[in-house]
Amino acid sequence: MSDPQAFIKIAREHNVPVLVDPKGKDFSRYKGATCLTPNKKEFELAVGPCKDEHELATKAQQLIQDCELDALLITLGARGMTLVTKDNHSIHIPARAREVYDVTGAGDT
């Protein structure tokens, strides 16, 4: 199914959560999804640069309203991730550094 809107509509009609790793800068094509999971670069491509965590949360809340999402999970690499919900809750989850011994299966091909 190449039309994200059709897929989202069918899934929502059957109470199936829709989590999307968005591509491109037009996130409106995922309107109605349960949660988008962009990295910070993808997020800023869609909403513009964020100078701090407060601005990131503010722009995330606006995107949630505009795209009728339940939540937005922005991955921040070594800084962890920030989850923002439609009821205006925001939580930053820090990353925990790990020493990697075996990268098999880590998408390194």
Q: Domain spans of the chain?
A: 4-93
Q: How far is CA 63 from CA 31, 43, 101, in A?
A: 10, 10, 39
**Closest to 85 (Cα-Cα) out of 66, 70, 74:** 70
CATH of 4-93, one of 3.40.50.720, 3.40.50.300, 2.70.210.12, 3.40.1190.20: 3.40.1190.20
- In this prediction, residue 9 carries a pLDDT of 95
**Mean pLDDT, consecutive 10-residue segments, the chain of 109 residues?**
87 96 94 97 96 93 98 95 95 84 59
Write the DSSP symbol of residue 62.
Answer: H
Q: Does 26 qualify as catalytic in the annotation?
A: no
Residues 3, 52, 87, 108: which is the catalytic one?
108
